[in-house]
Structure 1
Amino acid sequence: MGEIRASEVVSAACDALVAGLDTPGLRTLAACTRAEADYDVHDLLPTALAELGLSFYPVASKVGQEAAARALARHMLAGELTPREFTLRIHQRYGHELPLTERLAELDDEYDILEYGDRTMDQVDAEVAAEARRLATRPTVPAHLTDTPS
């Protein structure tokens, strides 16, 4: 979702090998040097994830954007982001264009006008938290069902 560097993906692959996961693609990914990581991770990651039975969602796809939004929601719920930081990131990434996150973009706008309205920061924070819970618990739809041309 664009939140970590390619070298961190390589480190995670190494950690997975140490933890006992072992596939050819994971070994290839873990073998990347820091210099190679920026160039090779994007090509190697889908294979490594598939071998582990995990889904890879291209970042630019609708399903990838939705998966990234759900991941950010989980980060907020874990206390790694404030509600305001969460809505700002969602709004910056997707504007008002991604239906799944439209309400969050609207709530980001509400933060900007709090001093002129009748809502408080706590009220907007509570609504953001409710939206984050909705996103975090939303089932993931397989890519082949959502990105298929009609």
Structure 2
Amino acid sequence: MTSDSAARLLQDRAVLWSMGELSAPDLVGAACDALVSGLDSPTLRRLAALTRAEAAYDVRELLPGVLDELGLVCPPPGSTAGQEAAARVLCRRALRGELSPRALAFWAHRSHGHELPLTARLAELDDAYGTIEYGGPTAAGLDAEVTVEARRLAAGP
């Protein structure tokens, strides 16, 4: 893994953590992965050294310093920008096959309902999965539509 891809992965995991989609110990694991991949900074080393018990308390304090030292950004927790960034991260994961199209649509619907304009189409597609057994669209067709939407969203900023 290149240092650029390690930085992107660390930033993505920071976004997911800030939105409650990733645990603090998992973020510590991401910091370890980043170090192994060649990223380095004093605060990144401190973050990577946290125990599982310490992570729950210290990630919030250390993460801003890590991001600053590495020139990475993470939207504020709970912000619309953070919700949109998390959606894009999960879309990229779905496109890599780490998350099924149906799971992506379900996540968008569960997390944001139809309220977040960026993910509203995914929520509609999640609704459509519920009509399959009643002669609605096929699962394969919906999976394809979710994949198209994931590509569109992943290509965003």
Q: TM-score by structure 1 length?
A: 0.84
User: Shift of residue 36 of structure 1?
Assistant: 0.9
Counterpart-to-counterpart distance in 2, 1:66 and 1:115 = 31
User: Shift of residue 15 of structure 1?
Assistant: 3.2
Partner of 1:22: 40
Closer, same or farther: CA 32–127 of 1 in aligned 2, 3 Å: same
User: Shift of residue 108 of structure 1?
Assistant: 0.3
SS in structure 1 opposite 2:58?
helix
User: Shift of residue 71 of structure 1?
Assistant: 0.7
1:84-117 deviations in whole A, cap 9, x for unaligned? 1110011111111100000000110011112334
Partner of 1:127: 145
User: Shift of residue 54 of structure 1?
Assistant: 0.8
The count of aligned residue pairs is: 139
Closer, same or farther: CA 125–16 of 1 in aligned 2, 3 Å: closer
Partner of 2:4: none
Partner of 1:38: 56
Closer, same or farther: CA 117–6 of 1 in aligned 2, 3 Å: same
Q: TM-score by structure 2 length?
A: 0.81
Name which one, 1 or 2, has greater alpha-carbon Rg.
1
Closer, same or farther: CA 81–14 of 1 in aligned 2, 3 Å: closer
SS in structure 2 opposite 1:3?
coil
Are the counterparts in 1 of residues 122 and 149 from structure 2 also a CA contact under 8 Å? yes
One-letter identity of the residue aligned with 1:25 = T
Counterpart-to-counterpart distance in 1, 2:94 and 2:122 = 13
Are the counterparts in 2 of residues 50 and 56 from structure 1 also a CA contact under 8 Å? no
Of the structure 1 ranges 21-30 and 43-52, higher mean CA displacement relative to structure 2 is found in 21-30
Partner of 2:77: 59
Closer, same or farther: CA 82–22 of 1 in aligned 2, 3 Å: closer
Say yes or no: does 1:12 pair with 2:11.
no
- Structure 1 unmatched runs, 5+: 140-150
| Counterpart pick for 1:80 among 72, 95, 98 | 98
The root-mean-square deviation of aligned C-alpha atoms, in Å, is 1.6
Closer, same or farther: CA 115–15 of 1 in aligned 2, 3 Å: closer
Counterpart-to-counterpart distance in 2, 1:95 and 1:129 = 19
SS in structure 2 opposite 1:4?
coil
Are the counterparts in 2 of residues 25 and 48 from structure 1 also a CA contact under 8 Å? yes
